[in-house]
Chains A and B, each alone.
Chain A
Amino acid sequence: QGQLVESGGGVVQPGRSLRVSCAASGFSFSSYGLHWVRQAPGKGLEWVAVIWYDGSKKYYADSVKGRFTISRENFKNTVYLEMSSLRADDTAVYYCARDWQVGKFDIWGQGTMVTVSS
């Protein structure tokens, strides 16, 4: 069925950068798009970014455009989210999710917590 495992979260000061990773196993990684979805404490789900299976297309939420960059290394079965100019409202659990048929999220990781605080 497949598995996704996020890593790299932590506490970071406002204005600084952080990169989180998502490692995949159990499926043909290079055949699927991958999304990042976040969830602020006690709040709902917010889509953040997506990268196509071959890296040819990337889309971002307006709230992170220009600050976050999604990338992938298919030979490592890993997708990344580079976050810069972090703000307090970026504090959230960041999930990666596999894209199925352009927009359904059929496999999710367990999430990694990012806290932006001085």
Chain B
Amino acid sequence: EIVMTQSPATLSVSPGERATLSCRASQSVSSDLAWYQQKPGQAPRLVIYDASTRATGFPARFSGSGSGTEFTLTISSLQSEDFAVYYCQQYNNWPPWTFGQGTKVEIK
């Protein structure tokens, strides 16, 4: 089973600033990596897939990068609606499909 590790657990950022979230896989997942956004009381939403492709409905301030075992989600200028928990997930080696433990992006 591939273990996904996210850091930091919590990121405190002021509106308008950049947020950089990290995700590490225990073995290579190539570019088979997705990011999800989850707001309180809501279901997750797909943000990024194939490590760097934005999903429908997400603006260009969201970007993903990386391959192999190291990945990054960057939100270039945080807006109020971006404060949420973000999860990475690999789909290279399955089952199981595995998620990181999440990074909470909170208002500083």
Contact = CB atoms under 8 A, between A and B. Distances in A.
Interface residues of A, number: 21
Interface centre among A62, A105, A106, A108 (most CB of B within 10 A): A105
B101 interface: yes
Interface centre among A44, A59, A62, A106 (most CB of B within 10 A): A44
A60 B99 CA distance: 15
Contacts of A62: 96
Contacts, number: 58
Contacts of A45: 36, 38, 44, 87, 89, 99, 102
A110 B38 CA distance: 11
B44 A103 contact: no
Interface string A36-59: 000000001111001000000001
A47 B43 contact: no
A106 to B, nearest CB: 5
B100 interface: yes
The range of chain B's interface size is 20 to 34
B43 A110 contact: yes
Interface of B: 32, 34, 36, 38, 42-46, 49, 55-56, 87, 89, 91-92, 94-102
A60 B95 contact: yes
13 contacts: A44-B100, A44-B101, A44-B102, A45-B36, A45-B89, A45-B102, A61-B95, A103-B92, A103-B94, A104-B34, A104-B91, A106-B55, A110-B42
Interface of A: 1, 35, 44-47, 50, 59-62, 95, 102-106, 108-111
Q: For the complex, would chain A's binding face be called helix, strand, loop or mixed by DSSP majority? A: strand
Contact of A47 (B34, B45, B99): B99
Contacts of A1: 56
Contact of A109 (B36, B43, B87, B100): B43
B15 to A, nearest CB: 25
Nearest to B56: A1
Contacts of A59: 94-96
A105 B44 contact: yes
Contacts of B46: 104-106
